[in-house]
Amino acid sequence: MLIDTYGRVATDLRVSLTDRCNLRCTYCMPEEGLQWLAKPDLLTDDEIVRLIDIAVTSLGIEEVRFTGGEPLLRPGLVGIVERVAAMEPRPQTSLTTNGIGLRRTAPALKAAGLDRVNVSLDTLRPDVFKTLTRRDRHKDVLEGLEAAREAGLTPVKVNSVLMPGLNQDEAPDLLAWAVENDYELRFIEQMPLDAQHGWKREGMVTAGDILASLRTRFELTAEGEQERGSAPAERWLVDGGPHRVGVIASVTRPFCAACDRTRLTADGQVRTCLFAREETDLRAALRSGAPDEEIAGIWRLAMWGKKAGSGLDDPSFLQPDRPMSAIGG
């Protein structure tokens, strides 16, 4: 079991498979990209599977989410998914992606045992997409979403970040489109995860702003805390249901008290929080020949030291040293 001093138990593992990405979203990284991790520093496919197996069989992990960077860029992705889906007990598996390569890979991922996907899409307007991502790939994302739905990687969840002066007016249109296409939309408050440190609390589009905008067109009925559980998104029924919309308000409505996550970076570091400044090295233990029991013990000790909160509710919060592409969303 992965328990911390506040009694929280981690059952959800986020695994970053690569720090690389084929977009350059303004809220994540600079236009020229980043200095990527050297290949020898990255975990191999076998190392990733071994750590996940330890987490599932020895530490109580029930859900595994593959992230990046962009996880579809990982050459061995389908094989990793297949091996994880074959574990006993079998964890729930999901993937967070920008969707660009999903049209090609969705059927193979489903056949390998992937349960569902989360796809990032911030706008319905191709020109705004190009401005936000610095790439002209809007059509590819839409086709990837359709392929995921057709392959049965459901519920297909769409993650959207609203930015002042770019797409902050699109919340109602995005929700109408999601309902029409049977996607579950989740808005995410912009977080301080950009490598260029351009995030500012002042002027950000908040959960309150998003909900006020949605209510100009839809009736929203809160699901309540019992339905939410440890999920990061507060959810509302749209016009009485069955469709739902969620809002992840990491900045203005922190949900740290119910957090059930642990994170593994692409280079084999445990992070107890997306915004943690400390990391615990599992790669060195792996490569020095440590047995599973020793690695599990290192992981338990790391989680025992998890802090009470992310620190985002502190107005003086400074951005993490590592960009999101290296940590995994």
Q: Which residue ranges make up the annotated binding site for S-adenosyl-L-methionine? A: 27, 69, 120, 191
Tens-digit pLDDT profile for residues 85-134: 999 999 999 999 999 999 999 999 999 999 999 999 999 999 999 999 88
Write the DSSP symbol of residue 97.
Answer: E
pLDDT for residue 8 is more than 80: yes
Q: Which residue ranges make up the annotated binding site for [4Fe-4S] cluster? A: 21, 25, 28, 256, 259, 273
Q: What's residue 31's pLDDT?
A: 63
Q: Which residue ranges make up the annotated binding site for GTP? A: 14, 65, 96, 157, 261-263
Q: Cβ distance 79 to 113 under 8 Å?
A: no
Q: What's residue 312's pLDDT?
A: 61
Q: Once rounded to an integer, what is the mean pLDDT over residues 167-187?
A: 97
Q: What's residue 26's pLDDT?
A: 74
Q: Structure tokens of 99? A: 């969707």
Model confidence at 82, pLDDT cuts 50, 70, 90, reads very high
Rounded CA gap, 52 and 57, in Å? 8
Q: Which residue ranges make up the annotated binding site? A: 14, 21, 25, 27-28, 65, 69, 96, 120, 157, 191, 256, 259, 261-263, 273
Q: Once rounded to an integer, what is the mean pLDDT over residues 69-87?
A: 97
